[in-house]
Amino acid sequence: MSCLEMRGIEKSFSGVSVLRSVNFTVEGGEVHALLGENGAGKSTLMKTLTGIYQADAGEILLDGVPQTFRTILDSKKAGIAIIHQELNLFPNLSIQENLLIGYEEDFRGMLGWVRYKQLREHALALLQLVGLTRSPETPVSELGIGERQLVEIAKALQSDLRFLIMDEPTAALTAQETQKLFQIIADLKTRGVGIIYISHRLEELFAMADRVTVLRDGMTVGTYCLREVAEELLVERMVGRSVENRYPRSISDPGEMLLELDGIQTRRLPTPISLTVRAGEIVGIGGMMGAGRTEVARAITGIDRITGGVMRLRGEQIHFRAPGEAIENGVALVTEDRKDDGLLLSFGVRFNLALPTLDERQRAGFVRTRRECEFVEEWVKRLAIRVHHMDQPVVNLSGGNQQKAVFAKWLARDPQLLVLDEPTRGVDVGAKQEIYQLMNEMKARRKGILMISSDLPELLGMCDRVYVMRDKAVVGELTGDEMDQEVFMTLVAGRQGVQE
Amino acid sequence: MSWFRRYRLGPLLGLVLLVFILGVTSGQFFTVSNLLDVALQTSVNALLAIGMTFVILTSGIDLSVGSTLAFSSALAAQWMVAGISPWMAGIAALCIGGLAGALNGVMVAYARLAPFIVTLGTMTLFRGLTEIYTNGQPIFNLPNSFNGLGNGAILGIPVPVWITVVVFLIAWAVLSRTVAGRRIYAIGGNEKVAYLAGVRAKRYLVVVYMVSGILAALAGLVLTSRLATAEPTAGNGYELDAITAVVLGGTSLMGGEGTLVGTIIGALILGVIDNGLNLLNVSSFYQDAVKGLVILIAIMLDRKKSEGR
């Protein structure tokens, strides 16, 4: 059985040490989870392992033999493959052409033509291995995220794969796709492949991983057998303090009606949608990806025009034509994709935080810079956003800090209704707690929150009520005792009663 | 060296170096009359480049400025010949420039067409309209009172230079100090983020192209007054000089990044090169080649810098 070992790995960037003595061992045929907060050094460690970075100290041993990986090609040759969070496929090419890249020589025919027939057979065999029933000629752009992931795995299987690193593979997958992925991981295990699995979702690790190594501040905290360790202990090790309650829901005491959707429709929502949010209430929307959750948020916040039905805000009928109008009326949206929709990545923290509230600190159209600095400093402090200076580009912040920056930007507007789309995706346990606290603070101040989340325990744990969506329609509303995973999943899966 | 990078001193350093070389190699360079000449020669391009900076900051481009310049000047010149006062004709020309810009802006913002294609089209359209209107003939016999705009001087400094300085100061204040300026940068950084943050991105885009059109018309008035003629071919290729000045000044063609100070420095670099090569009696055939090389070197130096992050 093969064995991959990292010993005393150290790495620093321009004087800031990111990895300080990390020890990490993976055996062939095991799923070894890597757990740690954002910024704990997981990605750096994996980049060091695959030769993207060179370690300052320490060694990498493969079956006891020291290795030097200067580039990612070196590690690939040694049988180590990595599947990044943002998949690295060419969407404009077909599945088989994607598999061809890097292996062109194997399929070179006369005059440098590609031997497509042979490539197709090769691709079919690989797709069968990963259980993807698609023609190899299908363009990758037509595949869903889950299917693309399978193509990535197929790609990794082309070489003599011994270790596979997966970075947050289930972040964008539906429940079924996740199950399928776990099946394939189990297959790989029996073939002797060692899997390094990075995920923030503890439930997943307990479901399919064998061992877990916890990183904190660039150091190995410990390696545990998942069958013998409690979830609370892992969280505590990861965060460095004990977290009593992962979902600190406060007492429910809904007030007057804040938002009322009465059979609204948009171009993207053909079925009329009705739901309500009261002051001092956190209301959830659950369902699979593509069930229409984001579309509801888009309708409420004026991104999509409402074409039918009635929306009422504080009892008054109102339709927004642009996000700007929603914002002026106290409705703010924290978007799903902070990198694409929430932040100007190359711009500074100050610029980003100030953007929605520029009008509040101006005189005759001129920005009052000193006031702005005070304002930004106050919010950075209030939300404990870790920054070096006010004009640091937000692209350099960790995921959790970026998300807090998005929150700060919107909380500063003091919205009456805050719509959150996947507020904790890709955010570590510590930052999650802080975001939950912020939500509870808003709730206590009698604001309304509408939260979309794919994280089921979070949805059921934080919300006072949850609407369930399927096929662009609201199919149920859960309150009190009904807020249970099984009830939820039955609704999500539909009345035919598909299990899980 | 971080302050060097932060304040983007590369273009300024290039300008200083260029001025130094010319000062050493040519005795005439550092005379007051020559320096004023450089400033005067630069003013038309600088006006266009200031407008172009607004557009490029939103990750757009305006190829139509040269044609807008010709079209609005031809109309203004014809009106002046017909007896309308230069003031009225001038203001009307600025309005024409604004409308031309609005046409670009509406197509970019509301019809969601690519700025390059839209302004490529209007560039040809406005040039064609100019040729139809003038019948391909230059317009002479402009009133004497219009002369002062291009050829007069206040306190010994040419009027076009004063105009450029005033326009620059206003534009600089808008971009770097006002809420509107912030929003223009935000749109260039990521239009979707800006829109979701409540910025009326489409309106701003229209305004930005209008600024470019109005400044093109203003540059046209200055040029027409200096030459005492409105040529149907006026401003041909000026859009590229303006873009060059903006890029030399360190503004990113991807939008969201850059300053007007850089743009002015970029325009001055181009002006100094032209002036210096003339002083050194370099044949005009070589001038373009040298200019091209300087531009390439400047951009490569800038590229090295931005890779450092």
Q: Which of helix, strand or coil describes residue A226?
A: coil
Range of the domain at B179: 30-236+252-257
Q: Which of helix, strand or coil describes residue A445?
A: coil
Q: How far apart are CA A261 and CA A301, in angstroms?
A: 12
A281 and A204 belong to one structural domain: no
Tell me the residues of B at the A interface, defined by beta carbons under 8 Å apart. 173, 177-180, 182-183, 185-186, 189-190, 192-200, 256-257
Q: Which of A315-329, B6-20, B243-257 has the lowest mean pLDDT?
A: B6-20
Please state the pTM of the whole predicted model.
Answer: 0.81
Residue A470's DSSP bridge partners are A473
A354 vs chain B: nearest CA distance in angstroms? 10
Q: Which of A300, A321, A367 is best to mutate for the B interface (most B CBs within 10 A)?
A: A367
> Is the model's pLDDT at B7 over the cut of 70?
no
Residue A252 maps to a domain = no
Contact A266, A321 (CB under 8 A): no
CA contacts within 13 A on the Cβ side of A99: 32
pLDDT tens profile B136-162: 999 999 999 999 999 999 999 999 999
A417 and A280 belong to one structural domain: yes
Question: Any alpha helices (H) in A88-230, and if so which ranges?
Answer: 95-100, 116-130, 145-157, 175-190, 202-208
Residue B5 maps to a domain = no
DSSP structural state of residue A341? I
A261 and A154 belong to one structural domain: no
* pLDDT given for residue B125 in this prediction: 97
Token pair in block for residue A452? 């979309």
> Is the model's pLDDT at B300 over the cut of 50?
yes
Residue B296 maps to a domain = no
The last residue of one of the domains, among A211, A239, A267, is A239
* pLDDT given for residue B3 in this prediction: 53
* pLDDT given for residue A250 in this prediction: 85
A460 vs chain B: nearest CA distance in angstroms? 28
A324 and A222 belong to one structural domain: no
Q: How far apart are CA A389 and CA A367, in angstroms?
A: 20
Residue B307 maps to a domain = no
| Beta-carbon separation of B200 and A333 below 8 A | no
- What Cα–Cα distance (Å) separates residue A59 from each residue in A15, A19, A74? 21, 13, 15
Task: Find, in chain A, the residue whose alpha carbon is nearest to that of B186.
Answer: A344
Residue A249 maps to a domain = no
Residue B95 maps to a domain = yes
- What Cα–Cα distance (Å) separates residue A261 from each residue in A176, A312, A317, A417? 30, 6, 10, 13
Give the angle subtended at the CA of B30 by the CAs of B28 and B35, to the nearest 5°.
100
A356 and A468 belong to one structural domain: yes
State the burial class of residue B112 (Cβ atoms within 10 Å of its Cβ: 0-12, 13-18, 19+): exposed
What percentage of residues in chain A have a pLDDT greater than 70? 98
The last residue of one of the domains, among A212, A239, A266, is A239
> Is the model's pLDDT at A499 over the cut of 70?
no
A96 and A205 belong to one structural domain: yes
* pLDDT given for residue A495 in this prediction: 53
Query: CB neighbours (10 Å) of residue B128?
Result: 12
Q: Of B231, B230, B229, B236, which Cα lies nearest the Cα of B64?
A: B236
What's the domain count of chain B? 1
Rg (CA), chain B: 19
Q: Of B243, B293, B270, which Cα lies nearest the Cα of B50?
A: B243
Residue A250 maps to a domain = no
pLDDT tens profile B33-72: 999 999 999 999 999 999 999 999 999 999 999 999 999 9
Q: Of B204, B169, B162, B179, which Cα lies nearest the Cα of B54?
A: B204
Residue A476 maps to a domain = yes
Which residues on chain B are in Cβ contact (under 8 Å) with A365? 178-180
Residue A248 maps to a domain = no
Range of the domain at A138: 3-239
Token pair in block for residue A73? 């090609």
Distance from first CA to last CA of chain B, Å, rounded?
13
A446 and A362 belong to one structural domain: yes
* pLDDT given for residue A496 in this prediction: 46
Look over chain A and give the mean of its residue pLDDT values, rounded to a whole number: 88
A232 and A275 belong to one structural domain: no
A445 and A387 belong to one structural domain: yes
Residue B71 maps to a domain = yes
The last residue of one of the domains, among A178, A204, A239, is A239
Q: Of B79, B80, B53, which Cα lies nearest the Cα of B65?
A: B53
Task: Find, in chain A, the residue whose alpha carbon is nearest to that of B192.
Answer: A341
What's the domain count of chain A? 2
Residue A434 maps to a domain = yes
* pLDDT given for residue A338 in this prediction: 83
A76 and A199 belong to one structural domain: yes
A272 and A406 belong to one structural domain: yes
Residue A428 maps to a domain = yes
CATH number for the domain including A182? Answer: 3.40.50.300
A263 and A225 belong to one structural domain: no
Q: How far apart are CA B268 and CA B46, in angstroms?
A: 8
